[in-house]
Amino acid sequence: MPIGPARMPIMDHLGELRRRLTIVVVSVIVCSLVVYFATPTLIELMIGQIQEAMRGATLVVTTVLGGFTIRFKVALFFSVIICSPIIIWEVLAFFLPALRPKERRWVVPTVAAMVALFALGMVFCFFVIQPAAFGWLLDQSFEIGSIIPNAEDYLDIYMLLEIGFGIAFQLPLLIFYLSILHVVPYRTFRSQWRIVYVAFMVLSAVVTPDASPVTMILMFAVLIFLYEAALAVARFIIVSRDGAEALKWSREDYEQHEFDKQ
C-alpha cells in the first residue's frame, strides 16, 4: 500500500486521512454484510461461554427490531475484529511519513504486535474474564429472584468487555515505544510506579462496563503485569543498544546521542 510523502500541504493531509478512513469504513461494512448471515452461530458461541452462569436461562428479545439490531451489532463487532489488521495498518500508515527512516522499519513489526496483542486480550477475556464477570453478576441477581436475560443487554456487555481487553493489551506496546524512544525516560516509569498503579486502578474501575469488582481486579492485575513486562523488555533493549546510562536519558539526550553517531 503506498505511503505518501513526508511533507504535504494541510489539504493533502486531510485528503490522505479521508482516503484511509474510507478504506477502513468500506472494509468493515463489506465484512459486516458477509458476517451478518453467520451471526446466529456466532451468538451461540458467545453465549456458550457464559451459559453455566445463566443456570439454564435463555436470552430474550423484547422488541420487534431487537433481533435485527443484535445481529447487526454482532456482525459489526466481528467485522472490526476481522478487519483489525487493515484498521491498524491504515492508522499507522497515515503517521508513517512523519517518522525517520530508521524508525519506519518498526512499523510492520508494530502492526503484527498490535494485532497479536489485540487477539491475545480478547482470548484472555473470553476464557478468563467473561465467565468470572457474568458468574459474579448473575449470582447477585439470582440471590434476589429469577432473571429474564435481555439478549441485547448481555451481548452489549460481552462485546464491550472483549473490545476493552483487546485495547488494554496494547499497553505494553505503548510503554515499550515511549521508553525506547525516550519520550518518557525509563527511569521515570520506574520511579513513578506508585502513581502508575493508582492510575491503573482508576482506569480499571472506569472502563469495565459491568461494575463487577471481579472484572476490575482482574483487569488491574493484567495491566500491572503488562506494564512490568513492557518495561523489562524496554530495559533490555535500551541497555543492549546504548548502555545502562541510557536508562536516564530524556528525548533530547537521545536525539543528541543519535546526532553524535552520525
pLDDT digits (tens, 9 = 90+) for 115-125: 999 999 999 88
Question: In the predicted model, is pLDDT for residue 130 greater than 80?
Answer: yes
C-alpha angle 106-110-116 in degrees, rounded to nearest 5: 155
Q: What is the pLDDT of residue 100?
A: 72
**Whole-prediction pTM value?**
0.81
Q: What is the pLDDT of residue 7?
A: 57
Q: What is the pLDDT of residue 129?
A: 84
To the nearest whole number, what is the mean pLDDT of the chain? 85
CA dist 152 and 38 (Å) reads: 17
pLDDT in tens, 178-216: 888 888 889 999 888 999 999 888 888 876 765 668 778
- Amino acid identity, position 194: R
Q: Domain limits of the chain?
A: 1-168, 170-262
Q: What is the pLDDT of residue 75?
A: 96
Question: In the predicted model, is pLDDT for residue 149 greater than 90?
Answer: no
Question: In the predicted model, is pLDDT for residue 1 greater than 50?
Answer: no
CA dist 37 and 187 (Å) reads: 52
Q: What is the pLDDT of residue 94?
A: 84
Among the residue ranges 27-31, 91-95, 231-235, 256-260, the one predicted with the least confidence is 256-260
- What is the 3-class SS of the chain, one letter each residue? CCCCCCCCCHHHHHHHHHHHHHHHHHHHHHHHHHHHHHHHHHHHHHHHCCHHHHCCCCCECCCCCHHHHHHHHHHHHHHHHHCHHHHHHHHHHHHHHHCCHHHHCCHHHHHHHHHHHHHHHHHHHHHHHHHHHHHHHHHHHHCCCCCCCEHHHHHHHHHHHHHHHHHHCCHHHHHHHHHHCCCCCHHHHHHCHHHHHHHHHHHHHHHCCCCCHHHHHHHHHHHHHHHHHHHHHHHHHHHHHHCHHHHHCCHHHHHHHHHHHC
Q: What is the pLDDT of residue 211?
A: 62
User: 84-95 vs 66-82: helix axis angle to the nearest 10?
Assistant: 60
